[in-house]
Amino acid sequence: MRITIITVCYNRKNTIEKAINSVLEQNYNDIEYIIIDGNSTDGTKEIIECYRDKISQFISEPDKGMYDAINKGLKLATGDIIGLMHSDDEFYDKKAISRIAARFEADKSVEGVYGDGVYVSNDAEERLIRDRIGGVFSLKRVQKGWLPLHPTVYLKKAVIEKNGAYSLDFKIASDTEFLLRYLYKYKINMSYINSYIVKMRMGGMSTDIKSAFDVLHEDYKIYKHHGLSAVQAVFLKKTIALRQYIMH
C-alpha cells in the first residue's frame, strides 16, 4: 500500500527541513513524498533541493494560496492513501505512518483514518501548548462542531477522486469545508487511531491569532452552507481554540 504525503509551503525556511526529515525518517517503506512550493524567495527552495533525490516530486511555482497548492499535490499523487504534512509541523514519531497503514490494512471498508496531535511553542523548547485528542468518530459530534485534526486525516485516493478536492472559495478554512463535505455530507467511513500523529507548531496559518477571527467568519459561512446550526457549531468548535490563542 503506497501512502502519498503532500507538503505545501511558501517562505518556510525555518521549519521546512524538520518537516521533510520527519517524513523521510518514517519507518514505513512505501511513501510517495510530494512538495509543492509557492515560489519561495527566502531560501526555502534551496533547502528542499538538498533533499531532491529523496523527494518523489517537487514543484515550485506561484499559486493561488495553500489550498490551490494542495490541490496540485492531489493531482500528482499516485498513492492508495493520501495525507498532508504542513511545512510548520512534523510527525510525532517515526511510526506514525505505519500505524495509519496498519489501520487501513486491518479493515478494507475504512475510507479515512485520523488520530491525535499536539500543539507546541514555536521555539527551541517546544513547550506543550495544547493536547488535541480526536476521540472516536461520531456524526453527532460533527453536527455539534467537532472535526478531527486536519493534519492527522488520511483518506483513500479513490474517495478523494469521488468527492472532490479543496474549495478555493475559502482562503483560511477550506479544510473545514473539505472535512464537513466528506464526514457530514458524504458520510465516509472514518476510523480513529488512539495515537499521536503530528506535532504542530504555533504560528502557522491555522494557529495564528491574527487569522483566528477570519477563520470564525469563514467557518460560519461553511457550516451554514452545509445546513448546520452555524452559530452553535462554530462557537463550540472555536471556544477552546480561541482560549488557547489568547493564553499563548
The distance from CA 31 to its chain's CA centroid, rounded to whole angstroms, is 17
Range of the domain at 218: 3-247
Pairing of strands 128-132, 57-60: unpaired
Distance CA 119, CA 129 (A): 5
Calpha distance 92→195 (Å, rounded) = 9
Which DSSP string do the residues of 3-65 spell out, in sequence order?
EEEEEEESS-TTTHHHHHHHHHT-S-S-EEEEEEE---SSSHHHHHHTTGGG-SEEEE---SS
pLDDT for the residue numbered 220: 82
**What pLDDT is attached to residue 248?**
43
Number of domains in the chain: 1
Cα–Cα distance, 81 to 1 (Å, whole number): 8
Q: Please tell me the predicted confidence (pLDDT) of residue 228.
A: 81
Q: How many CB atoms lie within 10 A of CB 9?
A: 25
Q: Contact, 147 vs 180, CB < 8 A?
A: yes
pLDDT tens digits in sequence order for the chain, 248 residues long = 999 999 999 999 999 999 999 999 999 999 999 999 999 999 999 999 999 999 999 999 999 999 999 999 999 999 999 999 999 999 999 999 999 999 999 999 999 999 999 999 888 778 888 889 999 999 988 988 889 999 999 999 999 999 999 999 998 999 999 999 999 999 999 999 999 999 998 865 545 555 666 787 788 889 888 888 755 555 555 554 554 444 44
CA angle 91, 51, 197 (to 5 degrees): 5
pLDDT score recorded for residue 231: 58
How far apart, in whole angstroms, are the C-alpha atoms of residue 106 and residue 94? 20
Comparing C-alpha atoms, which of 148, 151, 129 is closest to residue 137?
148
Dihedral (Cα; 100, 105, 108, 109), 10-degree rounding: -30
The enclosing domain of 236 has a CATH number of 3.90.550.10
What local confidence, expressed as pLDDT, does residue 244 receive? Answer: 44
pLDDT the model gives residue 245: 45
